[in-house]
A and B are shown apart, each in its own frame.
Chain A
Amino acid sequence: MTLLETSGLSKRFGGLRAVEDVELVIPTGEIRAVIGPNGAGKTTLVSLVSGRLEPTAGSIRFKGEDIAGLRAWDRVRRGIVYTFQVTSVYANLTCYENVALAAQRRMMKGPRDRLMLAESRVARDVERALSRVGLTDETRRRAGELPYGHQRLLEVAMGLALDPELLILDEPTQGLALDEISGFCDLVRAISERATVLLIEHNMSVVLELAQLITVMDKGTVIAEGTPAEIERNPEVQRAYLGTDAAA
């Protein structure tokens, strides 16, 4: 079943065509990676999907419904969750409060829930999300005091607490140490048992290990799509992206 489908999706900033006519089809349950050189339009693309940006043209369908006109918060409620590329946790609040904000969102359904919620229910979800990313010991710490890599994990915990159907991870391993990365790959695999994952990633070994399909972007357009093996062999991809890596 198709979870997300974009067609003719474009975004222009003045004269700059950041995203041009992108067709993206993601089936339910997949881990999809989007790769491409800096400035290829990857973050812009997922910003259009998550509602942080409005498209210039094109449609976005989620579970068959056109969501292009919906505001970001309404998309979150439908199950599209975005974790930020630049960590955007609430630095002054504790890890608990950070995740609690996400956890209570799902429980707030009517006016009464806005005024009163059983904190024990929220706490249970917070603990579960923090333990999944391995931050249980940091529950009472201020998020701003965490090392950078842990802030990234906190971002993911906030995403998980929203119980997403589509979890968009924007360069999640950036700033993680090598040993943290392998743990992170296990985490993404575990997440994908319940949610579809859209992964923007620079680290090719992570992409090749996790993704079932890889979409390659360059200069705002999709230049290739295929399995990790196909993408590795694709000459155009090598020229646009992997080639520069090999040269470095």
Chain B
Amino acid sequence: MNRRIFARVLALHLGVVALLLVAQFFLSPYHHTNLARIMIFATFASGYNILLGYTGLLSLGHAMFFAAGVYGAGLPVFYLGFGAPEAFATGVASSFALAIVFGLIVIRTGGVSFLIVTLMFAQAAFLATLYFNEITLGDQGIVISQTLPPLEVGGAVLEFSDPDVKYNAALLLFAVAFLVCMAIVYSPIGRVFVAIRENEARTRMLGYNTYKYKLASLTISATISGASGAMYALLFSYIGSTFASIEYSIFPLLWTLVGGMGTLLGPLLGTGLMFYLVDIASGLTESHLIVVGIALVALVLYFPKGLMGTIREKWLPWLP
């Protein structure tokens, strides 16, 4: 790839991270907390986007990986007294391990059957969180703020209830995931992901074992999603079955589609837009989903490839 274009891409994406870093000094407390939440969910969507946007596999089961991160981090805090760094690591490891085991089974399918099998497994995982309610406390969930010790970094004590800690931890997670996604998109493996999306049969005849690459894509995608789940549990101190429910499989799909699948900035933009759309609409009317629905119809009409996807197609073809 052209060096000049890469420099431009790098500047734009680092610029977005820098903007998020500076924004915290200007935002009201309300938007400050919102943005922290948005960045965590945008990380979730960015992970989802690796699988859907770049590899072309539509999953309806990512709630399972998000919840693996949530429970993988939250349960050890509550039962074993883990600190935040260890809990985050176990959360990420849980989703990684789950992705490999589950991936070996589902990656044999494709298209609609992939969608159904992922949905099925995710529903089974959701029901499992209810079934084992002696441990998980089911949909009532567990608040972990009492047991989670504050983090000490170089003498400074960081309380997770502190909005600044929330914001910057979320930003750190998002920035790392964002850069990891960018590195993948520009790597040889990322090129193969796109090739699988465009024409899997041809990709096999170029000498690529497409099963391995799809498994890799699913694992990367699920692990990033799990990391966002783990961070969510630690920062917002709550773990519960809701995070394993089908809504949490549909959200990242929706955010990715709205923002533009197969674009790096799309998930952030889509998550932010949907978050505030729901937020503003519910301030206007009780039946806020009507407003959201109308907005989505307009988006499909005028931005059929999502916001960033359409912008890339019409004006900025160099966007990754």
Contact = CB atoms under 8 A, between A and B. Distances in A.
Interface of A: 50, 52, 71-74, 76-77, 82, 84, 88-93, 97, 100-102, 104-105, 107-108, 113-117, 119, 158, 162
B207 A93 contact: no
Per DSSP, are chain B's interface residues mostly helix, strand or loop, or mixed? Answer: helix
A48 to B, nearest CB: 14
Nearest to B192: A101
> Which 3 pairs, one residue from A and one from B, show the smallest C-beta to C-beta distance?
A76-B207, A90-B198, A114-B189
Given A71-B204, A73-B207, A115-B187, 7 more contacts: A72-B205, A84-B202, A88-B199, A93-B194, A107-B188, A114-B188, A158-B206
Interface string B162-188: 000000000000000000000100011
B203 interface: yes
A108 B191 CA distance: 12
A116 B206 contact: no
Contact of A116 (B187, B192, B205, B210): B187
Contacts, number: 67
Contacts of B161: none
A92 B210 CA distance: 19
Interface of B: 1, 183, 187-189, 191-192, 194-195, 198-199, 201-210
B189 A90 contact: no
Contacts of B195: 90, 93, 101
A101 to B, nearest CB: 5
B88 to A, nearest CB: 23
Given A73-B208, A76-B206, A104 B201 contact: no
A72 B183 CA distance: 29
B209 A71 contact: yes
Contact of B207 (A52, A92, A105): A105
Nearest to A123: B1
Contacts of A97: 191, 194
Given A88-B202, A90-B202, A162 B191 contact: no
Nearest to B195: A101
Contact of A105 (B183, B206, B210): B206
Contacts of A113: 188
Given A97-B191, A115-B188, A102 B206 contact: yes
Contacts of B192: 101
B188 A82 contact: no
Contact of B188 (A77, A89, A117, A162): A117
Contact of A77 (B191, B198, B202, B207): B207
Contacts of B201: 88
A29 to B, nearest CB: 22
B262 to A, nearest CB: 10
